[in-house]
């Protein structure tokens, strides 16, 4: 059986916190509850902004696909081409609006 630091009676000096990709010294004083809440809120806001940006990217990709269908000719049903043409013109504007909103959004929430 492999021995661990616990088996040897020593604790590791560092631990990796994946959410922030920072290395923390285990010997430092633990953060207060208020500090932890602030850190977690910042992480949640950052993740939310990433998700919103991913949505904007998907909207642009959907607009490109809609444009292909709209310009696809008689192989596509007329109604599908019309809807696709509207989406191709509407979705980039929606994605741009999302970019504008996220650019104004403070990371701190204040």
Residue at 54 is within a domain: yes
Residue at 110 is within a domain: no
| Structure token pair of residue 5 | 């630091």
pLDDT for res 19: 44
Domain that holds residue 19: 11-25+32-104
Tally of structural domains, the chain = 1
Each residue's pLDDT expressed in tens, for the chain with a length of 110 residues: 444 445 555 544 333 344 444 555 566 777 889 988 998 999 999 899 999 999 999 999 999 999 999 999 999 999 999 999 999 999 999 999 999 998 887 766 54
| Structure token pair of residue 52 | 């919103």
pLDDT for res 15: 38
Residue at 5 is within a domain: no
Global model pTM greater than 0.85: no
β-pair partners for 16: 23
């Amino acid at each position: 059986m492999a021995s661990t630091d616990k088996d040897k009676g020593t604790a590791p000096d560092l631990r990796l916190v994946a959410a922030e990709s920072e290395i923390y010294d285990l010997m430092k004083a633990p953060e207060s509850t208020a500090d932890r809440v602030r850190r977690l809120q910042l992480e949640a806001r950052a993740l939310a902004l990433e998700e919103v940006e991913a949505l904007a990217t998907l909207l642009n990709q959907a607009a490109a696909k809609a444009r292909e269908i709209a310009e696809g000719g008689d192989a596509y049903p007329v109604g599908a081409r019309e809807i696709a043409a509207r989406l191709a013109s509407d979705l980039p504007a929606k994605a741009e609006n999302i970019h504008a909103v996220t650019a104004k959004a403070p990371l701190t929430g204040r």
